Amino acid sequence: MELRAFAERVLLSDSLDLKLERVRESFTDVTTGTELRVTEPVRPSNLQFAPRRAAPAMPHPSTFTDPKRRAIAHHIMANHELQALEVMAWVLLAFPNAPAEFRTGIAHVMQDEQRHTLMHMERSSALGVKFGDLPVNCYIWKKALGFENVLQYIAGLPLTFEGRNLDHTLEFEDYFLKAGDPKSAAIMKTIHRDEIAHVAFGMEWLRRLKPEGQSEWDAYVQNLQYPLRPNKSIGDIFHAEPRLAAGMTPDFLNRLQHDSGTPSPE
């Protein structure tokens, strides 16, 4: 399947099934087309972006013994995964001249994001809340609209949002286990493993695309756009191990901790 057609299907289809449909054939990138900056993803009527503060906030983990609260958590995370998928499709359409290997890599990450969305959707439903029954926010999507080049995308999404998810997935695995829900915990573990690969993809391309002679840290920070800051790439607890597994150097990790002021428990 052509990358452009895949991106258009994800971004411009109002059917959730189509947005999440797995591509079985291999990807091709023959007709990259011209730059297209989509301002808002097309979504089914029950998943339209809600006005600010209309969507429910993440329930406090101390309430997770209540299945309904866990369902809301999965509903929120399904929307995060769907936005990540849509932002990546946005990148394919906005940067047709990016290296073909980078573009194909994004498409493979998108297939993981499709699976993650489905896993959270199904778990939310099993716990009593169908995906689309609650209002959803557009926080991640809105950040994408400011990316002017591929390096800004890499700093913003893989290295900041997905970087933070390295911590959040472990935190939520723990919350769900403590609430007696190993099924929800297993979903977080699976996503955590995939997220290491996604952050590794970001680190690899930061290295390949940054100007020669510029440090990885400087390339990261200089391509982050306000209000994103390095401390936004860290959850409640900083985990060094998955970041090292994702190819961040000890120096990069030091800077990350130093900048955020978060002490390491490891």
- Where on the chain is the footprint of Fe ion (CB under 5 A)? 81, 113, 116, 162, 198
- CB 18, min distance to Fe ion, A: 19
> Whose Cβ is closer to Fe ion: residue 108's or residue 142's?
108
Q: Please, what's the b/e burial string for 47-66 (b: 16 or more CB within 10 A of its CB; e: otherwise)?
A: bebeeeeebbeebebeebee
- CB 22, min distance to Fe ion, A: 15
- CB 192, min distance to Fe ion, A: 10
> Of 173, 169, 192, which is closest to residue 183 (Cα–Cα)?
173
> Whose Cβ is closer to Fe ion: residue 28's or residue 115's?
115
> Whose Cβ is closer to Fe ion: residue 140's or residue 219's?
140
> Whose Cβ is closer to Fe ion: residue 75's or residue 116's?
116
- CB 31, min distance to Fe ion, A: 27
Question: Virtual CA dihedral for 240, 160, 258, 215, nearest 10 degrees?
Answer: 100
> Whose Cβ is closer to Fe ion: residue 116's or residue 239's?
116
Strand partners, 28: 2
- CB 111, min distance to Fe ion, A: 11
Cα 248 from Cα 112, distance rounded (Å)? 21
Cα 73 from Cα 105, distance rounded (Å)? 29
> Of 170, 122, 164, which is closest to residue 140 (Cα–Cα)?
164
